[in-house]
C-alpha cells in the first residue's frame, strides 16, 4: 500500500464550496495523512524538520489548493522554499524524495476552455504549474498532472461537485492500492481522465 500525504492550503476554508467537502471525505480514508497548513502554521512559520519527516514517511505527496493568481496560496510557496532545501531534496548524493509521486489537486474559478492557447488564460493548467513541475522533477520525484475542477462558482448548479468528489476518492484509492497506470497518467493534461471504477 502507498501512504499518501495531502498538504492543504486554503485561506478561507470555512467559505469553501469545493475544497471543504473534498477534505471532509478524505478524512475517512485509511492511509491518507491530511495536513491543513494554514491551521497548523497560522503565522506561516513552517516546522522544517517536521515537514521533512512527513515527506519521508509517505510515498505520494499532494498539494491541495484553490488556484490563486495562477499559482498556489502563499503558504505552499513558503513550504517549498523552506522544506525543499538542497541537502534534503536535490543534492545529487541525497535526493531523499526520489521516486515519490507528486501532484496538485486544485480548484479554479476560470472555466476549463479558458485554460488553453486560444482561451483568455492563454496556457493550459499543466503549463501554468510548470515551476512546481520542474521543482519536483529536479528532486527526482514522479510528477503527475493536476486533478482539477474548473468554473468553481458553477459546480453546484451544473451538478459537477458530487462527481468531482467521488472521482477524488476513487483516485486516492487507486493510488493507495497501486492501481493507477503511472506512465500513462504522466502524459495526461489532467489526472481526471485516469479515473476508473
Ligand atoms: C486571491 C484569489 C486569487 C484567485 N486567482 C485565480 C486564478 O488565478 N485563476 C482562477 O481560475 N481562479 C482564481 N481564483 C478563484 C479560486 O480559485 C476559486 O474561488 C476557488 O478555487 C474555489 O474553491 P473553493 O470553493 O474550495 O473555495 C482566485 C481566488 C482568490 C481569492
Q: How far is the CA of 153 from the centre of ligand 1 (A)?
A: 9
- Report the C-alpha gap between 96 and 90 in whole angstroms: 8
Q: What number is the average pLDDT over the span 73-82?
A: 98
Q: What number is the average pLDDT over the span 54-67?
A: 97
The full DSSP string for the chain is ---EEEEE--TTGGG-SSHHHHHHHHTTSTTEEEEEHHHH-TT----HHHHHHHHHT-SEEEEEEE-BTTB--HHHHHHHHHHS-HHHHT-TTT-TTTT-EEEEEEE-SS-GGGSSTTSTT-S-HHHHTHHHHHHHHHTT-EE-PPEEE--GGGTTTTT-HHHHHHHHHHHHHHHHTT-S-HHHHHTSSSGGGG---
Q: How confident is the model at residue 176 (pLDDT cuts 50, 70, 90)?
A: very high
Q: What is the domain extent for residue 21?
A: 4-194
Q: What number is the average pLDDT over the span 39-51?
A: 97
Q: How far is the CA of 164 from the centre of ligand 1 (A)?
A: 17
Q: Which of 13, 24, 36, 68 to mutate to test the pocket of ligand 1 (most atoms within 8 A of CB)?
A: 68
Three cell numbers written together for 107? 480548484
Q: How far is the CA of 67 from the centre of ligand 1 (A)?
A: 5
Q: How confident is the model at residue 46 (pLDDT cuts 50, 70, 90)?
A: very high
- Report the C-alpha gap between 63 and 72 in whole angstroms: 9
The predicted structure's pLDDT at residue 77: 98
Q: What is the mean pLDDT of the chain?
A: 96
Percent of the chain beyond pLDDT 70?
Answer: 99
Q: How far is the CA of 89 from the centre of ligand 1 (A)?
A: 29
The atom number, within ligand 1, closest to the CA of 71 reads: 8
Percent of the chain beyond pLDDT 90?
Answer: 92
Q: Give the predicted TM-score (pTM) of the model.
A: 0.97
- Domain count for the chain, please give it: 1
CATH number of domain containing 15: 3.40.50.360
Q: How confident is the model at residue 197 (pLDDT cuts 50, 70, 90)?
A: low
- Would you say how long the chain is, in residues? 197
- Report the C-alpha gap between 191 and 184 in whole angstroms: 10
Residues lining ligand 1, judged by CB closer than 6 Å?
Answer: 16-19, 66-70, 107-110, 152
The atom number, within ligand 1, closest to the CA of 149 reads: 21
The predicted structure's pLDDT at residue 157: 93
Does residue 122 have a pLDDT over 70?
Answer: yes
Q: What number is the average pLDDT over the span 103-129?
A: 98
The atom number, within ligand 1, closest to the CA of 115 reads: 11
Q: How far is the CA of 83 from the centre of ligand 1 (A)?
A: 25
Contact 112, 123 (CB under 8 A): no
- Report the C-alpha gap between 74 and 63 in whole angstroms: 12
Q: Over the stretch 84-97, which tens digit does the pLDDT of each residue have? A: 988 888 888 888 89
Q: Over the stretch 137-156, which tens digit does the pLDDT of each residue have? A: 999 999 999 999 999 999 99
Amino acid at each position: 500500500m502507498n501512504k499518501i500525504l495531502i498538504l492543504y492550503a486554503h485561506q478561507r476554508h470555512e467559505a469553501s464550496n469545493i475544497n471543504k467537502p473534498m477534505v471532509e471525505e478524505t478524512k475517512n480514508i485509511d492511509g491518507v495523512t491530511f495536513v491543513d497548513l494554514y491551521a497548523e502554521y497560522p503565522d506561516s512559520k513552517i516546522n522544517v524538520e517536521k515537514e521533512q519527516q512527513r515527506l519521508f514517511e509517505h510515498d505520494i505527496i499532494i498539494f491541495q489548493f484553490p488556484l490563486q493568481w495562477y499559482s498556489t496560496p502563499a503558504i505552499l510557496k513558503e513550504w517549498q522554499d523552506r522544506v525543499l532545501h538542497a541537502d534534503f531534496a536535490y543534492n545529487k548524493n541525497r535526493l531523499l524524495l526520489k521516486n515519490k509521486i507528486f501532484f496538485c489537486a486544485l480548484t479554479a474559478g476560470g472555466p476549463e476552455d479558458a485554460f488553453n492557447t486560444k482561451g483568455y488564460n492563454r496556457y493550459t493548467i499543466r503549463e501554468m504549474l510548470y515551476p512546481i513541475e520542474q521543482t519536483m522533477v529536479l528532486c527526482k520525484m514522479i510528477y503527475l498532472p493536476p486533478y482539477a475542477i474548473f468554473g468553481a462558482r458553477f459546480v453546484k448548479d451544473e451538478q459537477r461537485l458530487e462527481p468531482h468528489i467521488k472521482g477524488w476518492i476513487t483516485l486516492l484509492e487507486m493510488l493507495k492500492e497501486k492501481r493507477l497506470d503511472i506512465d500513462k497518467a504522466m502524459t495526461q493534461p489532467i489526472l481526471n481522465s485516469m479515473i476508473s471504477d
